[in-house]
């Protein structure tokens, strides 16, 4: 494919190289420390000296090992993914994350959400997990004596509302913390589903471990600023139910993008007005069927 010179004369071409690792470290560290500025000095030092470098290292590893070919066409990773990891890290609060060990565990979780959630095969995830663990030993070993225990855990993080936050609590329901009691989280999801089922008249839905992990991923995306997620898989009601339950748990209005172009455009105006003027949280579901 080639452009004719007559057509090319109508445009201006710009080439923008990726920043060097040192420049990238400076940019990401500056952004990260705007959030971690209220943390202890040792935490700020850990973020700038180890965690940012580890994130850059993992990003380069992913780009080298996982190429966008064939059925893996969506394996496209850019600098925005580094920012996505740090955006997840910025959900840490001094109440729940007061040590390098707790931040390392969160960092592992965020790297898995940003990078490995796109993988379509178990072997890809296993390769990524091994290299992610290697990065932990390389960059974090001096910050915690029990790094083996940290990397061996498969912690899930979720908003407090998913963990049975009591009504009237002084804590924000969207605050992020590790899920220590999976059974309690299952009960919360089951209770919310029963409430939702009565109002929406849905078919019975079994709360399994993999369904809970999907809900934690969805609530994570829904509680992030401009959060979004692509839910790949076969068509079916379970996928829509998982999205609906996640929105219901968070008290967010769920709207569908189906309809004609004109209807969709009018709906977009309404959603933007509700979100922008009335600070109303809205989840828009766009399906390809």
Q: Where are the domains of the chain?
A: 21-152, 181-251
Q: Is 284 helix (H, G, I), strand (E, B) or coil?
A: strand
More confident residue, 246 or 25: 25
Give the residue among 141, 113, 145 at the shortest CA–CA distance from 128. Answer: 113
Q: Is 88 exposed, middle or buried (0-12, 13-18, 19+ CB in 10 A)?
A: buried
Tokens of 87: 């955006």
pTM: 0.83
Q: How far is CA 112 from the centre of its chain?
A: 9
Instruction: Assess contact for 245 and 208: CB atoms under 8 A.
Output: no
Predicted local confidence at residue 51, as pLDDT: 93
Instruction: Assess contact for 52 and 26: CB atoms under 8 A.
Output: no
Q: State percent of the chain over pLDDT 70.
A: 90
CA 171/CA 221 separation, integer angstroms: 20
Q: To which residue do tokens 């190429």 refer?
A: 67
Give me Rg for the CA atoms of the chain. 21
Mean pLDDT of the 69-88 span: 90
Does position 187 have pLDDT exceeding 90, yes or no? no
Which CATH architecture fits 21-152? Up-down Bundle (1.20)
Does position 1 have pLDDT exceeding 60, yes or no? no
Predicted local confidence at residue 227, as pLDDT: 79
257-276 core/surface letters (b: 16 or more CB in 10 A; e: else): eeeeeeeeeebeeebeeeee
Tokens of 72: 């893996």
Look over the chain and give the mean of its residue pLDDT values, rounded to a whole number.
84
Mean pLDDT of the 264-277 span: 84
Residues 147-175: tens digit of each pLDDT? 888 888 888 888 888 777 665 566 677 78
Residues 192-245: tens digit of each pLDDT? 878 877 776 665 555 555 678 888 888 888 888 777 777 766 556 677 778 888
């Amino acid at each position: 494919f080639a452009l004719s010179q007559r057509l090319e004369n109508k445009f201006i071409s710009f080439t923008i190289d990726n920043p060097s690792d040192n420049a990238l470290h400076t940019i990401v560290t500056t952004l990260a420390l705007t959030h971690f500025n209220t943390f202890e000095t040792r935490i700020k030092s850990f973020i700038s000296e180890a965690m940012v470098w580890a994130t850059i290292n993992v990003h380069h590893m992913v780009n080298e090992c996982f190429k966008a070919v064939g059925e893996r066409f969506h394996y496209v990773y850019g600098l925005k993914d580094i920012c996505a990891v740090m955006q997840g890290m910025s959900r840490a609060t001094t109440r729940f994350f007061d040590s390098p060990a707790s931040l390392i565990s969160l960092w592992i979780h965020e790297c898995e959400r940003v990078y490995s959630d796109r993988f379509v095969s178990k072997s890809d995830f296993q390769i990524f997990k091994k290299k992610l663990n290697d990065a932990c030993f390389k960059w974090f070993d001096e910050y915690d004596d029990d790094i083996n225990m940290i990397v061996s855990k498969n912690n899930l993080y979720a908003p407090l509302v998913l963990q049975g936050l009591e009504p009237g609590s002084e804590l924000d329901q969207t605050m992020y913390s590790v899920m220590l009691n999976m059974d309690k989280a299952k009960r919360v999801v089951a209770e919310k589903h029963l409430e939702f089922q009565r109002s929406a008249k849905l078919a019975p839905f079994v709360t399994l471990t993999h369904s809970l992990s999907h809900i934690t991923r969805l609530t994570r995306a829904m509680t992030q600023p401009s959060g979004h997620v692509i839910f790949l898989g076969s068509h079916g009601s379970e996928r829509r139910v998982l999205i609906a339950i996640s929105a219901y748990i968070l008290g967010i209005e769920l709207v569908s993008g189906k309809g004609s172009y004109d209807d969709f455009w009018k709906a977009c105006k309404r959603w933007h007005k509700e979100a922008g003027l009335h600070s109303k949280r809205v989840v828009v579901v766009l399906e390809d069927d």
